[in-house]
Structure 1
Amino acid sequence: MWLLLLMILPEHIRNRRSVKVAAFLVVVGTLVFWWYNFPFQKVHDYILQSKRGKSILLWNSNENERFFRQHSGSCGSIRCEIISNRSERPIESYDAIVVIFGDDFSPVDPMELAEFQSESNNTNQKFVFYTRKSPQSLASYHNVSEFTGVFNWTMTYRRDSDIPLLYGRIAPEELSFLSPEDVLRHIERARKTFRPRPKSRISKLNKVSPIVAWMASDCNTTSQRELYVKELKNYIEVDVYGECGNLTCDGPQCYDILLRNYKFYLSFENSLCPDYVTDTFFTMMDRDVVPVVYGGADYTRYAPTHSYIDARQFKPEELATYLKILDANDTLYGEYFWWKDHYRVTSSEENMWHNSFCDLSQKLHRDFESKSYQDLISYWGDYNQCVPFDPKWIF
């Protein structure tokens, strides 16, 4: 069209202005094409959609959502509202519905969930699969194969989740990257300057008390951590608190006992699954106790080098020998605290809830991709990447 206009213009004008006119007409033509194919109303609706607050429904609930409701809208510039009462408003009005899988939440009826989803006219609504449990632990409560095609996003401890639900974070105090040389220099400095907190090592019977502690309530796990501890106790004393031992403590005083009496804590997970690192690790990292880890995660992705001891690198007898060496040498023991001045630990349950739901709200504002998990069983069922226990690790 614009080429025809050029042809009817006088020659001297065409010669001088043909390029400018052609460019102008191309722009006008593009705008006209865009107007008919992408109406301004759609742009306006998109802007409103991205700016308005997001509403999130907790499909099944218990008293834990008190924290969620208290922190609704507290994600900085990102606005969100968290509701736990299904009858409060039409369910179709929510931007996301979070279905929580775990033994401490109300059971999930797959038929009820699928029926609602098929009847909903809100095509932008996201169903979120939420769990803090490992696949092996969750299997005793739910059959995830019943939820094929139901969920659009996942919110779990796995790093490849749509919304990662991390039990804790260990982040540098500064954004600057620590090179291997920097780490070695800080470790060397810790050898010279760190002095461990004095421990109450003498019992009432004038007997030297154990340097290793473990707290656990689940004594029959798929990771068989209880077998490792049982074998370890043949070579070094271990004080065991909770259902799996004969010692007890409640609440914050447990951590005071650890700091006062022990040098090492067994941060042993109940499942050996990728990325499964729970508060049993992060809570200890926030204290002057060296965690001894036993799990299926790559711990180098969660914590600084030489800040923990990996039990799976030792047979129990070898681990006992190494812990005794560290106990006898404050310089070597102090190396495990080199990172304390350079990193910060966040491990509270409040931080976990807050970070994950703020991440969900942010994703609702920015991610409009349509997808669903047609094969949830491969993601969270029998064919997950969890590692079975191998007796060779112990004997």
Structure 2
Amino acid sequence: MHRRLCRRLSFAIFVGILLTLYRSVQELPQVNSPHPLQRRVGVRGKAPLVTVLIWWYPFGKKSKIQDCDSSYNIQGCRLTTDRRLYPISQAVIIHHRDLGGNVSQLPAGPRPASQRWVWMNFESPTHSSGLEVLNGVFNWTMSYKRGSDIFIPYGYLYPKKRTEGKVALPSKSKLVAWVISNWNEDHARVQYYHRLNRYVDIDLYGRYHQPLQNDSIVLTISPYKFYLAFENSQHMDYITEKLWRNALMSSTVPIVLGPSRANYEQYIPADSFIHVDDFSTPKKLARHLMLLDKNARSYRKYFDWRRRYNVHLAKFWEEPYCKVCEAVKNARASDHKSISNLASWFQ
């Protein structure tokens, strides 16, 4: 019995020593401990290499946030809309149209020293108000405009693995089409349409006009030879999906109204499109279209580019999100800056 009592006392003493050691370790300062917000949202251990906070869903439309690794082979990214992760986010994406120049909607409180605020905007200057109050607020710009810190055009051409032979086109039984939903008589594109329509028939689709076939622009436009890729406003580099998807991906020849021909030629071959400025009057443009309609060889020359290139259409919004993550990963701490002249630069 005496031996049993001694064993119990020895065990109790051993347990007491362990508890004392445990308490002393708990009182030591924690090295590389996770941020309190990481613990609160259930993130354990080492955080992902880059956390990108999306301050708003663009235009208030919720969408599934894709994985950058599987979509773009960009690893180590965490995209989130959880504002509790603001203190540990390396970048915060703020969509201009949702901000609208109201600086009170920007993140409040101190900004982490290494955090980048990214101004994201894919609208033209004509439809981007409230820029003046944002000078000095953002660290990076992300837009369709060349010279952006993160340049994302609406589309681009990329080389095929090998040059192909004859280009296969869908059957063409119609002449000119235009898809437009935002009809405004003050827009240059609507005014030009009225003048051109005097000399050539143009089929209209979209709101207030004919419905799209199976709700598909490509299916609707493919039977046409020409498409009016007219922008809602004319600014440098503002070349939208009206060219890339509506025209080029629909296998039609784009008739463009936007920035200058020289600007378009920075994106696509000179012989792949028709610019309204190529003709002194809409009447002369109409005559050219009717000549091409009767000359298959001349018409097909507008598609020679397809032997060498494919069309990439930007994926909104996953592509911009992942490109921000990639930019953060490639950035150096010494590259930190602020955009002091956002308004004058963009306009």
TM range, smaller chain? 0.7 to 0.9
Shift of 1:222: 6.8
Cα gap change, 1:374 to 1:107, in 2 (>3 Å): closer
Q: Could you tell me how far apart the structure 1 residues matched to 2:318 and 2:158 are?
A: 17
Q: Percent identity?
A: 28
Tell whether 2:171 aligns with 1:171.
Answer: no
- Residues 286-297 of structure 1 aligned to structure 2 (within 5 Å): 286-296=249-259
Letter in 2 for 1:269: E
How high is the TM-score relative to the length of structure 1?
0.68
Asked if the contact 2:99–2:105 (Cα under 8 Å) also holds between the matched residues in 1, the reply is no
Tell whether 2:160 aligns with 1:198.
Answer: no
Shift of 1:223: 5.0
Asked if the contact 1:195–1:334 (Cα under 8 Å) also holds between the matched residues in 2, the reply is no
Q: Could you tell me how far apart the structure 1 residues matched to 2:172 and 2:293 are?
A: 11
- Of 122, 138, 141, 1:132 maps to 122
- Of 327, 351, 360, 2:324 maps to 360
Q: Could you tell me how far apart the structure 2 residues matched to 1:133 and 1:220 are?
A: 17
Cα gap change, 1:344 to 1:90, in 2 (>3 Å): closer
Paired position in structure 1 for 2:231? 269
1:263 alignment partner, SS class: strand
Tell whether 2:343 aligns with 1:377.
Answer: yes
Asked if the contact 2:144–2:237 (Cα under 8 Å) also holds between the matched residues in 1, the reply is yes
1:81 alignment partner, SS class: strand
Paired position in structure 2 for 1:61? 57
Structure 2 gap ranges (5+): 1-46
Q: Could you tell me how far apart the structure 1 residues matched to 2:293 and 2:266 are?
A: 27
How high is the TM-score relative to the length of structure 2?
0.77
Shift of 1:198: 3.0
The runs of 4+ residues in structure 1 deviating greater than 6 Å are none
Shift of 1:300: 0.8
Structure 1, residues 198-232: CA drift from partner, whole Å, max 9, x if none?
3345xxxxxxxxx1000111222775110001000
Paired position in structure 1 for 2:89? 94
Cα gap change, 1:171 to 1:64, in 2 (>3 Å): farther
2:271 alignment partner, SS class: coil
Structure 1, residues 89-116: CA drift from partner, whole Å, max 9, x if none?
34121101110022xx476630242x72
Across the two proteins, how many residue pairs are aligned to each other? 293
Letter in 1 for 2:156: R
Letter in 2 for 1:99: I
Stretch of structure 1 that moved more, 371-380 or 54-63: 54-63
Shift of 1:354: 4.0
Letter in 2 for 1:360: V
Q: Could you tell me how far apart the structure 2 residues matched to 1:106 and 1:127 are?
A: 13
Asked if the contact 2:218–2:249 (Cα under 8 Å) also holds between the matched residues in 1, the reply is no
Cα gap change, 1:76 to 1:255, in 2 (>3 Å): closer
Asked if the contact 1:157–1:276 (Cα under 8 Å) also holds between the matched residues in 2, the reply is yes
Tell whether 2:264 aligns with 1:299.
Answer: yes
Paired position in structure 1 for 2:180? 216
RMSD between superposed Cα atoms in Å: 2.6
Shift of 1:357: 2.8
Paired position in structure 2 for 1:239? 203
Cα gap change, 1:360 to 1:52, in 2 (>3 Å): same
- Residues 278-289 of structure 1 aligned to structure 2 (within 5 Å): 278-283=240-245, 284-289=247-252
Structure 1 gap ranges (5+): 1-50, 177-185, 202-210, 385-395
Asked if the contact 2:79–2:321 (Cα under 8 Å) also holds between the matched residues in 1, the reply is no
Shift of 1:251: 5.3
